Amino acid sequence: MKKPIARVLDLVDPASQRIWNMDAESARRRLLSADARTALEIEGSFALTARDGERVCLARSLDRPLRYFLAKEKAGPMLVVAERIDDIRECLEAEGYGDQFHPTYTRMVPAHHVTRLKLVGCPDPNPVYERFFDPPRGTLPADTAAIGEAYVGALYREVRAWLDTVDKNEPLGVLFSGGADSGAVLLALYRALLAAGQSPARLKAFTLAVAGGGGDLEQARDFLRAVDLEMLGEAVEVPAGAVDPLAAVELIEDYKPRDVECAAAGMALLGEVRRRYPEWRLIIDGDGGDENLKDYPIEENPELTIVSVVNNRMLYQEGWGVDAIKHSLTYSGGQSRGTVRTYAPASRYGFAGFSPFTCPEVIAVAEAIPFDELSRGSHERLYALKGEVVRQGVKAVLGFDMPVFPKRRFQQGAAPEATFRERFALHPEAYRQHFLSLHRSA
């Protein structure tokens, strides 16, 4: 005889749901709808669980994680839902089921999908993933000016929508390197404040400088000087020891080197901001801009070709997709996996983060770009595309002549090259082993 779920333990803090256009219960009803596309109506940042008898549906926005674990108990299955793997483990131990836990048995809800579980006992059916966000691809003209106006226009609308949801008296911090993504976000927020009749004095651009700083500090100052906003800049100086990759592994519960590096730098930056400003809460960043405009060095990944990058739907946002062999059930793929690199440090230090580049409206414009036609098989043309699109869009929509500098990863630009090499000298396998050691007793 089939048994329904005995218990669903949702450990996600209700206060962490930042939905702009409806309450959480209305959002949950959309998850339970037969048409998964109704979940796209939910605006903002969310990680939700909805239950109807033996049926459970889970969904999240791209900017945050949501994990689950199925345990067995006599009355039936017990579903535990949480943001973190260690939260699941602690819950199972408290319930007396710690011996059932292993980190690889946890599952990540993939972004842009409703995960449907029908848990009726042993054995448990596999989850069903139903896509709720499926933007059309390649529909924009091969005109960088038109693309830029559409892309930055969408970015600006999302920034204004977010600004309408936050307290008008709270200070606003931008994690700022002077690159195209953080630069566009800063300028969009500055314009949004003026359009709303609010003072841009609320705004600060925080630039990380480790051990005296790397290239980003001067780049950030050059950017602000070029747009006549030097008064917004603040260098956040920390010693080399503030960058701790093993602490980052523990925080993000992952071991991919680039994500570890980014999280370690983010922890150093946000930890120092928190020390300086104990009451600061709102942080906005440019995470997702590289993914949207495919600005990653293909040469660094032997699994990729330019053909696969430009022809696969949301490759950098979602990885190879939930139906692919290489999709990780424990972690998801692409930015759907890597979002913890920014979300976890912000949460650890008590910040509410936001990146407009992770919003569906902005990603939809990016997916509509005819990358194949514009790049014509050239890595160099593909890499140059983001700077040109964002520069032209910022000029058309925001009215700034924004400087564009050569691409540099956040963590690499924050420190001198020698310091970066020294802080991240461990072999990537050491990160994996350190993560596993955290759960060795399991």
Write out pLDDT tens, residues 105-121.
Answer: 999 999 999 999 987 76
Per-residue confidence (pLDDT) for residue 442, from 0 to 100: 63
Burial grade of 155 (CB within 10 A; 0-12, 13-18, 19 or more): buried
What are φ and ψ of residue 124, in 5° steps?
-90, 135
Task: List pLDDT tens digits, range 298-339.
Answer: 998 888 999 999 999 999 999 999 999 999 999 999 999 999
Measured CA to CA, the distance from residue 253 to residue 93 in angstroms comes to 18
Tell me: the pLDDT tens digits for 98-109?
A: 999 999 999 999
Of 428, 402, 424, the residue nearest 181 (C-alpha) = 402
DSSP string, 104-152: GG-EEPPTTEEEEEE--SSSPPPPEEEES-----S-S-S-HHHHHHHHH
Q: Which CATH number fits domain 144-437: 3.30.830.10, 3.30.413.10, 3.40.50.620, 3.30.420.40?
A: 3.40.50.620
- The order of strands in the sheet holding 282-284 is 233-238, 203-210, 172-175, 282-284, 352-354
Supply the pLDDT for residue 285. 97
Residue with tokens 């705004």: 203
Rg of the chain over Cα atoms, rounded to whole angstroms, equals: 22
pLDDT at 410: 86
Q: 38-52, 171-185, 216-230, 293-307: which has the minimum mean pLDDT? A: 293-307
Q: Which of 271, 269, 264 is nearest to 249 (CA)?
A: 264
Instruction: Measure the CA–CA gap between 67 and 65, rounded to whole angstroms.
Output: 7
200-214, 261-275, 293-307: the lowest-pLDDT one: 293-307
* In the predicted structure, residue 416 carries a pLDDT above the cut 90: yes
Contacts of 349 (CB under 8 A, 6+ apart): 267, 270, 271, 273, 274
pLDDT of 34 above 60: yes
Work out the mean pLDDT of the chain and round it to a whole number: 95
Query: CA distances (Å), 408 to each of 35, 174, 215, 230, in order?
Result: 41, 18, 9, 21
d(CA 402, CA 422): 34
Amino acid identity of residue 274, one-letter, is R
Which of 13, 31, 287, 46 lies closest to 165, judged by CA? 46
Strands 76-82 and 44-45: unpaired
Q: Which of 124-128, 180-184, 231-235, 326-330 has the lowest mean pLDDT?
A: 124-128
pLDDT of residue 122: 66
pTM of this structure: 0.95
User: Is the confidence at residue 391, as pLDDT, over 70?
Assistant: yes
Q: What is the pLDDT, as a whole number, of residue 1?
A: 44
> Where in the chain are the domains?
7-131, 144-437
pLDDT at 33 over 70: yes
Residue type, 336: S
Amino acid at 292: N
Average pLDDT, integer, range 110-134 = 88
Can you give the length of the chain in residues?
Answer: 442
Q: Which residue has the tokens 């440019």?
A: 286
Token reading at 235: 């260098």
Residue 58 has pLDDT above 70, yes or no: yes
Please say if the pLDDT value at position 4 is more than 60: no
pLDDT of residue 340: 98
User: What is the mean pLDDT of the segment spanning 53-65?
Assistant: 95
Omega of the bond prior to 125 within 30 degrees of 0, cis? Answer: no
Quote the CA–CA distance of 35 and 20 in Å, as a whole number: 21
Maximum Cα–Cα distance for the chain, whole Å? Answer: 71
370 or 122, which is more confident?
A: 370
Question: CA angle 303-305-310, nearest 5°?
Answer: 120
Specify the pLDDT at position 121.
67
| 107 to 124, 175, 317, 368, 388: CA distances (angstroms) | 14, 30, 18, 31, 39
What residue type is 43 in one-letter code? E
Class of residue 257 by CB neighbours under 10 A (exposed 0-12, middle 13-18, buried 19+): middle
